[in-house]
Structure 1
Amino acid sequence: MKKVMIASKNPVKIQSVKNGFEKMFPDQEFEFTGMSTPSGVADQPFSNSETFLGAKNRANTIFTKFKDADFHVGIEGGIEHFDNEMEAFAWVFIISKDKCGKARTGTFFLPNEVVNLIKEGKELGDADDIVFNRRNSKQESGAVGILTGDVIDRTKYYTEAVILALIPFKNVDLY
């Protein structure tokens, strides 16, 4: 059984990692453990590079603490100004003893009311909770789930990026 350490206790992130690994490696067994890990970036990353660094830092921190695990996964959600709007996305960074994989989710644009709250200093999840009268939405369907009517919830959204980040581990002879 292979051990996967996830740099988060967020149930959405844990389930996304589990889904991604099980889809990419259906014949293998995994043990998944989540642990709160600092990102080393702002609570609400405001650029692609800061968001990427947050995912990488989380994975590296959990790798340093649990070298005996087979995989170490960091996920970081972020936002960035783009063409007078604000887009949302996330990065996934996966480390093993001998390689790493990384991938970014798709991008979607946030409604003005949410953007205005973010500009006032709120994190995306908190802004969503205020605008959509929710509680702790970032540990449930998230902004993407709210805005798509759960056609794509936060778990599905992250799962695809986990799968893409696992490409080097599935194709070891190519990477």
Structure 2
Amino acid sequence: MHHVICATTNPAKIKAILHAFELIFGEASCHMESVVVETGVPEQPFGSEETRAGARIRVQNARALKPEADFWVAIEAGIDEGSTFSWVVIERGDKRGEARSATLPLPKAVLKKVEQGEPLGPVMSALTGIDEIGRKEGAIGVFTAGALTRSSVYHQAVVLSLSPFHHALYD
């Protein structure tokens, strides 16, 4: 059984991580543990590099906190070129897998508030009345009428990030 450290307590992120690991390694193949760690970036990162740095720092801090684990996983959401997206970083031993999620273009009214310094989650919660929307379906769920959710979009990026850990061509 793999011991997986999720560098988050966000249920949408944890769900994506769990489903991806079960898809790749089999149902009940992993023991997930959630930890709170610092990201080293602002609450609302801007740009691909700052967002990826946040995910990498989360993994680094999770490894320092729980060095006995088999995998460390982080998902950092950000804003880039008017869209929201995330970076997923997974480490095991000396290997790292990284993938960027799909992007969701944001309406100008939302983007304006975010660019003025408000994080996307609270902006979306205020506009929709959905408390802690970032821990649920997220802006993605709202703007796709539920066809996609924050977790479903993260899931794909987690699966892609796991590629170096289960395919022989990466060795």
TM-score range normalised by the length of the shorter chain: over 0.9
Match of 2:122 in 1: 126
Point out 4+ residue stretches in structure 1 off by more than 3 angstroms.
Answer: none
Instruction: Map 1:1-175; keep pairs closer than 5 Å.
Output: 1-26=1-26, 29-80=29-80, 82=81, 86-175=82-171
The alpha carbon displacement at 1:150 in A equals 1.1
8 A Cα contact 1:141 1:154, kept in partner? yes
Deviations 1:35-94 (A, max 9, x none): 1111000110011000000001101110122111000001100002x3xxx111000000
The alpha carbon displacement at 1:112 in A equals 1.3
8 A Cα contact 1:89 1:108, kept in partner? yes
Output the TM-score relative to the length of structure 1: 0.94
How many pairs were matched up?
171
The alpha carbon displacement at 1:149 in A equals 1.1
Which residues of structure 1 form unaligned runs of 5+?
A: none
Deviations 1:2-31 (A, max 9, x none): 100000011111111000100111266110
Which residue identity does 1:118 align to in structure 2? V
8 A Cα contact 1:113 1:131, kept in partner? no
> Structure 1 residues 27 and 131, CA, compared in 2 at 3 Å: closer, same or farther?
closer
For residues 155 and 172 of structure 1, the distance between their equivalents in structure 2, rounded to whole angstroms, comes to: 28
Which residue identity does 1:131 align to in structure 2? L
Which residue identity does 1:69 align to in structure 2? A
Output the TM-score relative to the length of structure 2: 0.96
Which residue identity does 1:156 align to in structure 2? S
For residues 7 and 28 of structure 2, the distance between their equivalents in structure 1, rounded to whole angstroms, comes to: 21
For residues 133 and 168 of structure 2, the distance between their equivalents in structure 1, rounded to whole angstroms, comes to: 37
